[in-house]
A = this chain, B = another copy of it.
Amino acid sequence: MQKIAVLTSGGDAPGMNAAVRAAVRRAAYYGIQMYGVYHGYEGLMYGDIQEMTLGSVGDIIHRGGTILYSARSEEFKTETGQQKAIDQLNRRGIEGLIVIGGDGSFRGAQKISEKGIRTIGVPGTIDNDIPCTDFTIGFDTALNTVVDAIDKIRDTATSHERTYIIEVMGRDAGDLALWAGLAAGAESILIPEVDNDMRDIVERLEAGHRRGKKHTIIIVAEGVGSASHYAEEIKKLTGLETRVTVLGHIQRGGSPTAFDRMLASRMGAAAVDLLLEGKRDRMVGIRNNEIVDVDFQEALSQKHHLDLSIYQLARTLSI
């Protein structure tokens, strides 16, 4: 294997650049030529591909977003689109492809692999919703962004003694909401992995008020519905006016934390190592602090697992 390529796909996540840097430098270390594919699978189909050198990835380890850009591509979901991508890689003699992204991106990588190019996936998404890995690149940064935002909102919640409902990202996974809620000391955390009973929420709210707690913060994972919905429900059940904040796209950006840079560096390098070992169709992961790799099929057929003991802990600590 003399030439490999790397692309980023799906929602961007802080640390993707650190992963690209690690892949490029690891390849250079082994004397392999690395190519950067711009704009994800769309760019792959249309040959938006350039050679990358050590200099291409200088001074990017600390930058949010992705220097390779990301894009959605409907065309790539078709047989014709996939063949175009293969042709572009073959034309350049590129034998391996590293795909940094989420589960949708890995399904694309499987297609490429079926058509003869070895692919390795690197989990990059703030949602932490990929099975077979404890963490995804970007999760820790998004988590700290959310916690920092809740800390700020608590300043004003405390000053005014009000109830705030904060909606955070995570798609179908509650990790971001749960971890942020525990780390920020939120009074209630609503996540898709558990049954979120409105009566329970209201009881906790009222128990807090009885104990003299005058401000309350409720975290809502986007996977359980909108914060506004819960604000209305609380209003209906208790008459209490709440304030709603939807954190939105700030959660995707920012300079990656040390943890995400480490994770991305380890995973980006490991992806190159796997290609050199002749592996394919596999996703890099981290389990128990060790870098592992699992078959795409296995990873994509499983469900992401949220540690419910954390949820129980959050409940006992937010009394």
A residues contacting B by CB (< 8 A) are 8, 11-12, 14, 16, 21-22, 25-26, 28-29, 39, 54-55, 59, 61-66, 69-71, 134, 140, 143-147, 149, 151-161, 164, 179-180, 182-185, 211-212, 243-250, 252-255, 257-259, 261-262, 265-266, 269, 287-289, 307, 310, 313, 316-319
Q: A26-B316, A64-B152 are in contact. List 7 more A-B contacts (CB 8 A).
A: A12-B160, A21-B317, A25-B316, A149-B250, A152-B253, A164-B249, A288-B289
B-side contacts of A143, CB under 8 Å: 258-259
Complex Cα gap A185–B147 (Å): 26
| CA gap between A159 and B289 in the complex, in Å | 29
The prevalent SS among residues of A at the interface is helix
Chain B min CB distance to A71 (Å): 7
Beta-carbon contact of B317 and A153 below 8 Å? no
Contact B265 A153 (CB under 8 A): no
Are B317 and A25 interface neighbours, CB within 8 A?
yes
Whether B155 lies near A269 (C-beta < 8 A) is no
Interface contact A246-B249, CB-CB below 8 Å: no
Q: Does the CB pair A245–B248 fall under 8 Å?
A: yes
Contact A54–B255 (Cβ < 8 Å): no
How many copies the complex holds: the figure is 4
Contact between A151 and B245, CB atoms less than 8 A apart: no
Please tell me which one of the listed residues B8, B26, B64, B184 contacts residue A61 in the complex, with CB atoms under 8 A apart: B184
Docked pose: A61 CA to B63 CA in angstroms: 14
Q: Are B155 and A145 in contact (CB under 8 A)?
A: no
Residue pair B265, A313 in contact (C-beta under 8 Å): yes
Given A29-B316, A134-B289, A183-B61, A252 and B12 touching (CB < 8 A)? no
Instruction: Compute how far the CA of A182 lies from the CA of B39 in the bound complex, rounded to whole angstroms.
Output: 28
Chain B residues, CB < 8 A from A12:
155-156, 159-160
Contacts of A63 in B (CB 8 A): 155
Residues of B within 8 A of A146 (CB): 258
Q: Which of B25, B157, B182 contacts A262 (CB 8 A)?
A: B182
> Does A249 lie within 8 Å of B156, measured CB to CB?
yes
What are 8 A-B pairs at a CB distance below 8 A?
A69-B159, A147-B258, A152-B249, A179-B258, A183-B265, A266-B313, A269-B313, A287-B288
Question: Taking the nearest CB of chain B, how far is it from the CB of A54, in angstroms?
Answer: 7
Tell me which residues across on chain B come within 8 A of A246, comparing CB atoms.
245-246, 248
CB distance from A125 to the nearest CB of B (A): 12
- Chain B CB within 10 Å, residue with most, of A149, A243, A249: A249
